[in-house]
Amino acid sequence: MEKKEPGRGKPALHGLKNRVRQPKRPLLFCRATLPKISRPLSQSKLELEKEALMQEQQTLSKLLASLCFAVSILGLSSCTDEEDGSATTVPGKELSLKKVIVSVKATDQPEKLLAVKNDMENFLSEKLKRVVEISIPTSTDSVSGSLLEGKIDVGLLNPTDAARNLESGITSVLLGRTEKGGLSYKSIWVCKMEKQYSDMADLKNKPIAFASRSSEPGYLIPAWDLAKKKLIGPDMALTDYFSQVLYCNGEASAVEKVLAGDVEAAAIADFALQDGSGLLSEGQKSQLKTFQEQGPVATDVLCVRSSLSPTDKKLLKEAFLSLNTEKPELCNRAFQGNLEEVNEREHLKITLEAIEIQNSLKH
């Protein structure tokens, strides 16, 4: 008898049944419909991908164009900032400052300049098309500090402060102020009328007075002159050459020391002896004589913050210069003189030299 392998009969029959029944599955339906469904889906997906790619290309193009524009603007602004040292530049004739703060000449009686303050604010506001505020300081020291801190934009400085600020890059000179019609004057040494001094070499081992430590004609320039003549220097202090050195509170107090016999000579400004200066009485002037002069001494200067753009400086200069012709009396009351264009380095040349020498002197 033929042997049957276990488990082979039924599985074969079962597989046959499965093969017979399989045509009952909806194969025709699948074969007929799947191509119709899959073809439109593939086409739609391709079109969507193509459209998305085009949108991405357009977006990238826009971003690239925007980036190029931004870079070009940044380059232009950087060049402008490097040229004028200011972060804000306005082309043409428009002032970039929204408000301009100006400090006029210092006085110990600011209440007397209230009318000047109002008139100056109105005049400059009309010229600059901006709000202008006039500050009336009681000391010149506060003006330099306010410019440094950016509290004011324009201020009248003495030559010493202006020279130091110029060297440190804090301010630049906008205009020079005239003194008795000029942009410079002389420092002089005066003594009693009966004295026979011819120059400062005659004053060795004698007492002298300076008008003030902060005065250009009454200290800085006379000391510069003494150093140039080798009377003082790094090895010879003022107190080594003279028997006594006094520092006073202005021309009047220095002259009083001379007339009282406390000192033999005093250094003051030449305009103190001129008519109308108001610094000395006629009686005092009649007892004095000038035996030496030195200089020239630079006049005060109207300074502006260095961070302002060239356009701003130009517009400010034009506005202040117009005071000379349109409001000369107002200009004189505010600055005690007219305003004129100067070369800042030339105007402050001797002052800069004097400061350098002063720093080298024996003290």
Cis peptide before 296 (omega within 30 of 0): yes
For the packed helices 221-228 and 349-360, what is the interaxial angle rounded to 10 degrees? 70
307 falls within a domain:
yes
Range of the domain at 304: 99-182+300-354
Tokens for 199?
A: 């120059």
Residues 285 and 189 in one domain: yes
Q: How many domains does the chain have?
A: 2
Residues 236 and 195 in one domain: yes
> Alpha-carbon distance 209 to 214, whole Å?
13
Taking 70 as the pLDDT cut, the residues of the chain under it are 1-92
Q: Would you state the pLDDT for residue 357? A: 96
Residues 305 and 175 in one domain: yes
CB atoms near residue 135 (< 10 Å)? 17
- Of 159, 130, 104, nearest in space to 337 by CA: 104
Q: Beta 207-210 vs 244-247: how paired, if at all?
A: parallel
Residues 6+ positions from 332 with CB-CB distance below 8 Å: 338
> Alpha-carbon distance 207 to 262, whole Å?
8
Residues 321 and 349 in one domain: yes
Q: Would you state the pLDDT for residue 46? A: 57
Residues 189 and 288 in one domain: yes
Please say which residue of 297, 325, 345 terminates a domain. Answer: 297
pLDDT tens sequence across 76-115: 333 334 333 333 444 567 899 999 999 998 888 899 899 9
Residues 269 and 305 in one domain: no
Q: Where are the beta strands (DSSP E) in the chain?
A: 99-103, 131-135, 154-157, 171-177, 184-192, 207-210, 244-247, 265-269, 288-298, 301-305, 339-340
Q: Would you state the pLDDT for residue 76? A: 37
CB atoms near residue 4 (< 10 Å)? 8
Please say which residue of 262, 282, 297 terminates a domain. Answer: 297
Which SS3 state, helix, strand or coil, does residue 235 take?
Answer: coil
206 falls within a domain:
yes
Residues 268 and 313 in one domain: no
50 falls within a domain:
no
> Alpha-carbon distance 77 to 72, whole Å?
9
Residue 279 sits in a domain whose CATH number is 3.40.190.10
Residues 167 and 259 in one domain: no
Residues 178 and 306 in one domain: yes
210 falls within a domain:
yes
Residues 165 and 196 in one domain: no
Residues 204 and 263 in one domain: yes
Q: Would you state the pLDDT for residue 276? A: 81
CA torsion through residues 102, 105, 108, 114, sign: negative
> Alpha-carbon distance 313 to 311, whole Å?
5
Please say which residue of 297, 320, 346 terminates a domain. Answer: 297
Query: Is the model's pTM score more than 0.85?
Result: no
CB atoms near residue 37 (< 10 Å)? 9
